[in-house]
Amino acid sequence: MNYRLCPSILSADFNRLGEQIQIMEKNGIEWLHIDVMDGDFVPCISFGMPVIRSIRKETRMFFDVHLMVTEPERYIRDFVDCGADSITVHAEACEDLERTIETIRDAGARAGVSIKPATPLNDISHLLSDVDMVLLMTVQPGFGGQKYMTECTEKIRELRKMLDEEGLDVDIQVDGGMNEQTIDIALEAGANLIVAGSGVFNGNIESNLRIMKQKLGRFYSEGD
């Protein structure tokens, strides 16, 4: 099981995006979380292919693309072409979730499925063996800087139990409200990929990265 911090560039300073991505890379970050919002599945519009294509030239980091987009199947090939290594789609946004996951695989990317805090695990339990990662939203998708919803902790625990019982090596990624405090709660419950936007980019980036990576490292060696 790999434990990783996945900084979300949604909270980056877009005027200095390339520079901030280099800071990530210099500090040993391997996964970059890239939030695409369409103004339909979620109220905001963030950015899309041109931005991803241009930062792809800047780094060899793994691009973990989180599509908060209605009917994402329409765009999967395009996102892979512009540099996505992993694509996560929302169960709530897909008319045919199985086919969408197949499309991600056919395009050659890692496949992730995400659910909002109110969506039950039952909605995705039948396809756990078809995905590489489940992204559990721990805030309502659509905005950075929200507070971790503590009621999600049990869901993380339950999902890890389901995966263990089925003997599946599937990553659990958590997204929303992760900071120095909440990271411990999520790790302890069974998450192994931690997305953090404001927790990384607000304040001193290097010291935020150091503190959060230390927490991951400590947990990893304890859990080993």
User: Which stretches of the chain bind ligand DX5, using CB under 6 A?
Assistant: 8, 10-11, 33, 35, 66, 139, 141-142, 144-146, 175-178, 195-199
x-marked contacts with Zn ion along 58-97 as a string, rule CB under 5 A: --------x-------------------------------
Instruction: In angstroms, give the least distance from the CB of 224 to ligand DX5.
Output: 26
Nearer Cβ to ligand DX5 (115/139): 139
Residues in the chain: 224
Q: Look at residue 100 and give the partner it binds from ligand DX5, Zn ion, none, a contact being a CB closer than 5 to 8 Å depending on partner kind.
A: none
- What is the distance between the alpha carbons of residues 194 and 78, in angstroms, rounded to a whole number? 26
Residue type, 173: Q
| All residues at 6 or more sequence positions from 40 whose CB lies less than 8 Å from its CB, including other chains | 69, 70
**Separation in Å, CA 20 to CA 14, 26, 58, 67, 193:** 9, 10, 11, 22, 20
Q: 81 an active-site residue?
A: no
> Is residue 175 at the binding interface for Zn ion, with CB under 5 A as the rule?
yes
Q: b/e for 44-66, b at 16 or more Cβ within 10 A?
A: eebbbeebbeebeeebebbbbbb
Position among 12, 35, 182, 193 found at the interface with Zn ion (CB under 5 A): 35
Q: 132 an active-site residue?
A: no
Q: Look at residue 72 and give the partner it binds from Zn ion, ligand DX5, none, a contact being a CB closer than 5 to 8 Å depending on partner kind.
A: none
